[in-house]
Structure 1
Amino acid sequence: MKYLYVSAAIAPLLMIAPAVAQAADAVKPANREAVFSTGVAKGRDRLDSATSTSALRESEIKVLGARSLGEVLRNIPGIRAEYGIGEGNANYSIRGLPLSGTGSKYVQLQEDGLPVLEFGDLSQFTSDMFMRSDLNLSAIETIRGGSASTFASNSPGGVINLISKTGDAEGGAVEATYGLNYGEKRVDGDYGYKISDTVRMHIGGFYREGEGPRDVGFTAYKGGQIKANITKTLENGYVRVYGKYLDDRTPAYQFVPIRVTGTNADPTFAGPTNFNLKTDSLMSPHNGNILTLDGDNNILRDDVRGGQHAVSKSIGLDSQLDIGGWTITEKFRVADISGSNMSFRPIAVAPAAALAFVYGGPGGALSFATGPQTGQAIPNPTALNGNGLLTSSLLLYTKVNSLDNVTNDIRASRVWKVGGGNLTTTVGFYKSSQDYGTDLSFLNVLSDVRGDGDASLIDVRTAAGVPTTQNGYIAYGIGGALYHRTYDMNYGVDAPYASINYHVGKIAVGGSLRYDMGDVKGTLYGAELGGGRLGVTSVDMNGDGRISLAETKVATLPLGQPGRVDYNYDYLSYSAGVNYRIAEQLAVFGRYSRGGRASADKILFTPAVNYNTGKLVDSESAYDTVKQAELGLKYRIADLTFNVTAFSARTGERNVQVNSNAAGDIQVENIVRGYKAKGVELEAAVRRGPFSVTAGATYTDAKISKDVLHPEFIGNKPRHQADLIYSVTPQVELKYATVGVNVIGTTSSYAQDTNQLKLPSYTLVNAFVQVRPTEQVQLMLNVNNLFNELALSDVEQAAIPASGVVLGRAYNGRTASATLRYTF
């Protein structure tokens, strides 16, 4: 039934479209660099808009040599991107808004003006997992704060919009990329064509395969996508139909053991012996076997090497028509999203001899459970792999039953002549339906710490020879039956909105409102729901006819005792601003906004919901609010652009956070707190002849302003929040070559909210060279992390433990690639 979700407004548009035809497309501004259309009522010159915006065009994106979407977005001022996990499930925020959990809670990621997922922080599945940067990409537009609160749902921090090519420029390109010091082979292509004077099309995509930038011992990257659209231009607008098919596998680079010396205030981080933090991970062909129970409590086998498997099939409509003085814009998309997310995640690291005692008692013995040394004893645990370490780890298995979504956004705008100025009015209605249907299992295994894709699982026996593990499994669950769950949820959103803007002379004044109404329904299964719902049993998992100790600790679902979820919520968002264009080249603006972000799966399996009635225990758990004030200046002449914005924000936060307790043990904690932040955001670009420089920087002073569970945190900096993040890209563009570097960096931050252990500052230099021997041929060389610097993304311990070993994640070391491109 959901595929009949198209709003009634579409039908008349489709009937009108064929009736009119002419060679003119929808009105496009002459100076496209200055016009911005994301998160606003109508596209307009940015110097006439009281918003803080940025845009990266295709020509700017391709020189970055980014290996993932996160590596592209890190170059946009105001955006914090933590992408140490790789391609997909990265963390994004804007300005000082918190990254207390995972994903992009306050920032909405869109493709062509509609969200990829309604909520950007769904557990194990975030929006960027189902998005790719390739030759289809025309531009990336971002709006920070401002009217993002009222022109999109669940986006009070801002909107990041990937805009596709539509065939306005005929021709295309094909390119092949080869990893010079890492495993990647990739082919990209795109083509735009004018079928007639009034019809054009574009098609493009990529396919890649390889081990990737880290040594994992198997093909971790495999897949690609294809996107296509066809546009009919009309006398009064256009109608476009588009589609996308993505089927791609990427690895999830999880936390690894890191040795740390020095003090919390001045630590030194290094990899364990025989383990390189910049090129290794604990993934390997020897530790990937998943054995668990599925959503019906049947034995299921899978493999961690499946990684983050994203499958997205979508079709959409994008139209704009001028009818009776009104401009009517209709955007509709239906997406069938499936896949899985499997990863290997350490939760504790300790000397091998200590873990032999923990799991095997006095005289406990170790042996290899998998790999080329399967069955061989480990006589000297302290010398194992030269570092003597073992990890108690999770095999994380999450299967998507449905992340399907249907989204429709229709709006009508009209410009009225009033008192010598232009009064622009807009009304619209947004409607979406987002499924969240997943099966989740956390399985507990024991692994050694070895690089080069050679890590193995480890077995333990007591002194009497009794096995306490089975093929490396400590238990077929964690903490009894924690995090063995099934979600079958649907989130419906209805949101009418309106705006008014009056532009007279040098002044533009405007405001907008949005009223979000949510309907949340579903069923949950999991032992955490309480009420005596037991979830641990004995199962012969390996089918040998015997029940081992590990097989007495199998997590099962209490299928006869479901948890009910059935609640509604509503909230108002608003934004108001004034823009004064002092001169043709200079403008100043001020804006105040309040936006909301509805709670999604992060409040499930918490006390926020009464699972007998399905209602919220506390209505405040339904959503969080963000209040922001902005004051900015914009300056633009032919060869110089300069934008600076001062901001202040206050945020309420209900979330789930993975951190550590005072002993350094990993824990999952529900948090209820508030944040406040203030700062300055800078964006500049200058060109002189063949020389050009683009730069962005954000200074942020952020604090935890309240905390229900940890009042001692009040006044502390939020974890991972640096005072300064920045990017600078100088380049020289000659007739036959372009040479430049892309420099990104951050000052130090704290690993956790306790403000003890510091994550060091870093600066990463990425170099690029483009050679164009002919007009159609281009050879590109990109080197990311040119100086092979160790840069930490995150560390889970709040302070240096007695063992001197923490769990953390580093960005990739030096990677070099060559690309040969042919344009036609």
Structure 2
Amino acid sequence: MSSKYYLLLSVATWALAPAAMAKDASDAQGAITTGEATKRSVSKPKAEATFSTGVAKGRDRLDSATSTSSLQADEIQKIGARSLAEIFRSIPGIRTESSTGEANGSYTIRGLPLASGGSKFMQIQEDGLPVLEFGDFFNVASDLFIRADTNLSAIETIRGGSASTFASNSPGGVINLISKTGDVEGGAIELTTGIDYDTKRLDFDYGGRINDTLRFHIGGFYRTGEGQRAVGFNAYQGGQLKFNITKQFAAGYIRLSAKYLDDRAPAYLPGPIQITGTNANPTYSSFENFDVRRDSVQSRYITSFPTLDGNNQPINVPMRQGLSALVKSVGLESQFDIGDWTITGRTRYSKISGTTIRDLVANIYPANGLPASLGAGTGTLSYANGPNVGQVITPADNINGNGLIGATSLSKIDIRSLDNFTGDIRATRVFDLGQGKFTLTGGMYKAVQDLTSDWLYSNITQDLNGGGNSALINYTNAAGVPQSQDGFLGFTRSGSTGFFRRTYDVQYDVTAPYGSVNYHIGRIAIGGSIRYDMGKVRGQLFGSDLGGGRVGTTSYDFNGDGVISVAESKTNILPLTRPAPVNYNYHYLSYSTGINFRIAEPLAVFARYSRGARANADKVLFSSKVSVVDGSMPDSADGADVVTQAEFGLKLRRPGMTFNITGFIAKTEDTNVQAGAITTDRKYRAHGAEVEAGFQRGPLSITGGLTYTDAEIVSDRLNAAVAGMVPRRQPKLIYQATPQYESRQLTLGAYIVGNTSSFSQDINALKIPGYVLINPFVQYRPIDRLQFMVNVNNVFDKVAIIEISQTTVPANGVGWGRAANGRTISASVRYAF
């Protein structure tokens, strides 16, 4: 990145300081500023509910024509979530597929399509700025580079509405994780351990005032362990440290923040699932010695894999790297009143790298049903490693009691750089106009996002044995010629082609001016906002699937024996002398307008219409939409996918009760790539309603929400057969609830989440049943400052299917997919000081 972009908004932000410093600092007040969260619990209805994410100016939510939610830190702790996705699924309107583990989850909102992983139409932010400019990069979603720990003060969410104009690439909404900033003196240390699974974690944080005008906060975590599923090795390792310091002036504040994240976690990918019954009424169950709730295709015996790196040099990739993230970031935030204007600036530079190591099932066969390429009826299968190394396998052996063999791709997505700079500066002024208040806001957003990564693969055969005990399998044909080497069929993704071995070296440069107006008179507030995004995409691509004679296969002697084996003859390389350029621009206009009518002090209704868009990032690369000759985009409409939404809502807030309901209609364009490299170019339509409510009476309370969605694929330019179908894995109803009892010493409750049935794939044949997961918790405080807590996830150990690869019930009953984790119990002790 060019250093001029790093400095652009930082200088503008710091330039505000002298005017503020000229004022008498002794007048500084300790009031909470934008980005700081209150300590009130979401289960206790608030007298005021000021909200600042995705809007021009923080205001009472009953005076704003938006649909928003806020989740406080103490409520997040009760959920007992094992990942960020499990936290997000507690927010009404948000649909998550939280079966991958710590990161690379899938997120969407209000029926907007979820064709692939990550978060395309909804932006994940940290303290008001995006973690990544695009939340659905192939294999490296935003949640890989952010963690929830005791630094977290609150999570604010805006769905639809002005999210499309107050953030780039977020037409569906924004989820903003807000850090503590030392406004409350004190801290805590917390130890957590798994009771029935291997994890140990230490969290700490502390903040407070250094003097009357200076405060700080510091905190982080460290954890280690195998994790919730059996993989046979220490899959979780690492932690995070965050720090911020705030200088308060009479007219505002300046805050400097820093973050260091170095963490790894396993990637839980599809495993074998037994499927019987009919498409309309299927039965899903575990195979012998492989529990879909607790096991993984990862293993203590599959420790590494050889391949060629991004420079076509041999490397040995350790599997335990899993989902690894290394983030070093520094940020600057300020807000000052200068004359009648309030100027707010945020900038952050993040240096980001990491890896995504995966064990991805391509197919699963009964041992007596292997195709010819894997030794059907001829030749010999034998163990390549593990306790049975060298032992011959026959179909009659019924290995592991399930007789299953998997053809699997081991992959490393080597994230060399996702470095990014983001900055946002805005000015707001409130004018007296007639009997009301007129608020004017103008701003500028700037972002520079790198994408430099290599896709590296090798191809294996393995048995499917739970407990982290899967082993590699060799195949020798009837002529006695080994077709595999140490369990590897080839050093490719699959087969003998160079498909999906790629290098991306691209940079995205985004500039977006925006503005808004709002007029509040009496009970009525009318507003509108506009944003114009302009993007420049420059760089180059390498890969044989760019065509044009770019060959991606070779031979390489990995074991150094001087002989090229059959497997070694199937080695992928990158055609480094034949790059394809990337050189195109995009632009799109977003706007939003709404009206809010406060019928009475506790009651308001609103309506809003919005048009936003999401720029297409890497999903249009390696496709016909970008020329491999000159890097241009022949059809400028392919640069972004447009989303239009209409909302109609009611909000009620009384002592002991809140009730919000919003109806929505959304139309969406989506250019994407589904798992299995299926390219889509679609239009979708969805309508429905979301409800969020909370009730409290004395020590008893319940909060929760539900979202009804009726979604449809309107058209697909590449596959007309799916028109009129319901998008895969989209349930009609998702819901969550948290009933609890709370006294001074004891809190008892349960976090309940569920959804109705959906279809496994877009052809709408095979159903995935709905599920309800109940997650009880108990907190006990024997003395002040000391708390003991137990969380149980999925207390009834339900099989909750998240994803199925099959389109219909397979004749042999063998399928593969993902399910939610089975029952896991954690215990923690927390001491506050």
Percent identical pairs in the alignment equals 54
Kindly provide the amino acid, as one letter, of the partner of residue 533 in structure 2: D
- 1:12 and 2:15 correspond: yes
Cα pair 1:17 1:239 within 8 Å, conserved: no
Quick check: 1:317 aligned with 2:318?
Answer: no
The worse-fitting range, judged by mean Cα deviation, of 286-295 and 248-257 is 286-295
Shift of 1:380: 4.3
Contact 1:362 1:462 in 2 (8 A): no
The alignment status of 1:474 with 2:489, answered yes or no, reads: yes
- In the alignment, the residues of structure 1 paired with residue 377 and residue 656 of structure 2 have an alpha-carbon distance, to the nearest angstrom, of 74
SS, match of residue 320 in structure 2 = helix
Say whether residues 1:37 and 2:52 are aligned partners.
Answer: yes
Q: Give the corresponding residue for 1:336.
A: 351
Over residues 557-578 of structure 1, what are the superposed CA-to-partner deviations in whole Å (9 max), with x where a residue is unaligned?
1111101000001110000000
Counterpart of 1:134 in 2: which secondary structure? Answer: coil
What's 2:434 paired with?
Answer: 419
Maintained 8 Å contact 1:705/1:714 = yes
Which of 366, 369, 384 is 1:369 aligned to? 384
Is 2:627 aligned against 1:614? no
Query: 2:367·2:394 contact (CA, 8 Å) conserved in 1?
Result: no
AA partner of residue 13 (structure 2): I
Tell me the secondary structure at the aligned position of residue 171 of structure 2: coil
Residues 324 and 32 of structure 1, relative CA distance in 2, 3 Å threshold? farther
Whether the aligned pair in 2 keeps the contact of 1:331 and 1:410 (CA below 8 Å) is: yes
Q: Is the 8 A contact 1:254 1:345 kept in 2?
A: yes
- In structure 2, distance between residues paired with 1:261 and 1:484: 36
1:657·1:669 contact (CA, 8 Å) conserved in 2? yes
> Residues of 2 paired with 1:2 and 1:803: CA distance?
57
Which of 700, 716, 727 is 2:725 aligned to?
Answer: 716
Q: Deviations over 1:504-558 (max 9, x none)?
A: 0000000000000000001110000101111111111222211000111100011
- Give the number of equivalent residue pairs: 816
Partner deviation per Cα, 1:212-243 (whole Å, 9 max, x = no partner): 01011100001010101000111001110000
1:664 equivalent in structure 2: none
Q: Offset of 1:6 from its aligned partner? A: 2.2
Q: Give 1:355-434 correspondences, 5 Å limit.
A: 355=370, 357-360=372-375, 362-380=377-395, 382-434=397-449
Paired position in structure 2 for 1:763:
772
After superposition, the Cα gap between the structure-2 partners of 1:150 and 1:730, relative to the gap in structure 1 and judged at 3 Å, is: same
1:372: how far off? 2.0
Relative to structure 1, the CA distance from residue 64 to residue 354 in structure 2 (aligned partners, 3 Å threshold; closer, same or farther) is same
Q: Check if 1:705 corresponds to 2:722.
A: no
Gaps (5+ residues) in structure 1? 659-666
- One-letter identity of the residue aligned with 1:589: F
Q: Which runs of 5+ in 2 are unaligned?
A: 39-45
What SS does the aligned partner of 2:221 have? strand
Alignment partners' CA distance in 2, 1:536 and 1:27: 60
Q: Is residue 168 of structure 1 aligned with residue 183 of structure 2?
A: yes
Q: CA deviation at 1:375?
A: 2.0
Is the 1:26–1:236 contact (alpha carbons within 8 Å) kept by the matching residues of 2?
A: no
Deviation, 1:10, is 2.5
How far apart are the structure 1 equivalents of 2:498 and 2:207? 53
> Is structure 2 residue 570 aligned with structure 1 residue 545?
no
* 1:787-802 matched pairs, under 5 angstroms: 787-802=796-811
Shift of 1:784: 0.4
Instruction: Tell me the equivalent position of 2:740.
Output: 731
Tell me the secondary structure at the aligned position of residue 149 of structure 1: helix
Q: Distance in 2 between matches of 1:737 and 1:693?
A: 16
Task: Please tell me whether the aligned partners of residues 513 and 572 of structure 1 are also in contact (alpha carbons under 8 angstroms).
Answer: yes
Distance 2:48 2:746 in 1: 24
Match of 1:256 in 2: 271
Structure 2 CA distance for aligned equivalents of residues 362 and 109 of structure 1: 51
> How is 1:139-154 mapped onto 2 (pairs within 5 angstroms)?
139-154=154-169
C-alpha separation in 2, matches of 1:112 and 1:407: 12
CA contact (8 A) 1:27 1:237 kept: no
3-state DSSP of counterpart to 1:187: strand
How many angstroms does 1:356 deviate by? 7.0
1:89-238 correspondence to structure 2 within 5 Å? 89-238=104-253
SS at match of 1:542: coil
Query: How much does 1:2 deviate?
Result: 3.6
Equivalent AA in structure 1 for residue 806 of structure 2: Q
* 1:357 to partner: Cα distance: 4.1
Give me the whole-angstrom Cα distance separating, in 2, the residues matched to 1:287 and 1:433. 38
Contact 1:361–1:463 (8 Å) recurs in 2: no
Tell me what 1:523 maps to: 540
Maintained 8 Å contact 1:718/1:752: yes
Q: Is the CA contact 1:41–1:426 (under 8 Å) kept in the aligned structure 2?
A: yes
Residues 607 and 617, structure 1, Cα contact 8 Å, conserved in 2:
no
**What letter matches 1:725 in structure 2?**
I
Q: Residue 379 of structure 1: CA displacement?
A: 3.8
Mapped pair 1:507 → 2:508: no
- Report the secondary structure of 1:59's partner residue: helix
Cα displacement string for residues 124-170 of structure 1 (whole angstroms, at most 9, x for unaligned residues)? 10001111111000000000000000000000000000000000100
C-alpha distance after superposition, 1:165-185 (max 9, x if no partner): 000100000010010000010
1:445 maps to 460
Q: 1:605 matched to which residue of 2?
A: 622
Whether the 8 Å contact between 1:356 and 1:365 is mirrored in structure 2 is no
Q: Give the 4+ runs in structure 1 shifted more than 6 A.
A: 29-32
Residues 20 and 251, structure 2, Cα contact 8 Å, conserved in 1: no
- Deviation digits for residues 752-797 of structure 1 (CA, Å, limit 9, x no counterpart): 1100000001000000000000011000000000000000111111
2-structure distance, mates of 1:575, 1:78: 19
Query: Residue by residue, what CA displacement relative to the aligned partner does 1:692-727 show, whole Å, maximum 9, x if unpaired?
Result: 000100000111111112222111111111000000
Contact 2:408 2:460 in 1 (8 A): yes
Equivalent residue, structure 2, for 1:778: 787
- SS of equivalent to 2:831: strand
Q: Which residue of 1 aligns with 2:29?
A: 24
Flag the 1:267–1:734 CA change in 2: closer, same or farther, 3 A: same
Structure 2 distance, partners of 1:351, 1:278, is 21
Deviation at 1:736, TM superposition (A): 1.0
Q: Is the 8 A contact 2:32 2:183 kept in 1?
A: no
Match of 2:606 among 568, 589, 614: 589
Please give the per-residue CA displacement for 1:646-687, whole angstroms capped at 9, x wherever unaligned.
0000000100012xxxxxxxx311100100000010000010
After TM superposition, the score normalised by the length of structure 1 is: 0.98
Pairing partner for 2:653 from 624, 633, 636: 636
Equivalent in 483, 486, 507 of residue 500 of structure 2 = 483
User: Per-residue CA shift, 1:74-111, capped at 9, x if unaligned?
Assistant: 00000001010011000000011010111100000000
Q: CA-atom RMSD, angstroms?
A: 1.3
Residues 312 and 335, structure 1, Cα contact 8 Å, conserved in 2: yes
